[in-house]
Amino acid sequence: MLDKFLPESLFPRKLQPATDRRMRLAQARAEEALVRTHVENALTFVDALAEELPFDRAIDTYIREMTVSEPLASVVVTRVLVVLARELLPAAREEQSDDLRPRLRLSEASGAKPGQIKRA
């Protein structure tokens, strides 16, 4: 019955390769904008509830109240934690004079075999 209303010739299932690429790029931009908006709003939520809730519970509450489903929820939580870590960890890192992690030398790593990373 739907064949009469939506004939295959009007809505082909397979897109042209160029159209498919443009559509995927547009979708990626839209998804990134959505993630960025959730991160900004979650940070505002954490800030607003800072006196009542620890940041991890505030993030969890935001995700639950906004009904952000997986896998988007994991991406948002991770990015919010990264922003919070940038605010909290630089002072702690400056206090440590010894950075125990060796520096990655990109010029050497680019010539390394796949799966092998050279460290300084």
Per-residue pLDDT tens digits for 29-47: 999 999 999 999 999 999 9
The structural domains of the chain, with segments of one domain joined by +, span 16-94
Q: Tokens representing 67?
A: 């009904």
**How far is residue 43's CA from residue 119's CA, in Å, rounded to a whole number?**
35
pLDDT of residue 118: 47
pLDDT number for residue 4? 58
The pLDDT assigned to 102 comes to 59
Amino acid, single-letter form, for residue 52 = E
Angle between the N-to-C axes of helices 72-95 and 17-48, in degrees from 0 to 180, rounded to the nearest 10: 60
Q: Give the pTM.
A: 0.62
pLDDT score, position 88: 79
What is the structure's pLDDT at 8?
58
> Higher pLDDT residue, 100 or 18?
18
pLDDT digits (tens, 9 = 90+) for 46-68: 999 999 999 999 999 999 999 99
The model's confidence at residue 95, banded by pLDDT at 50, 70 and 90, is: low
Cis, bond preceding 17 (omega within 30 deg of 0):
no
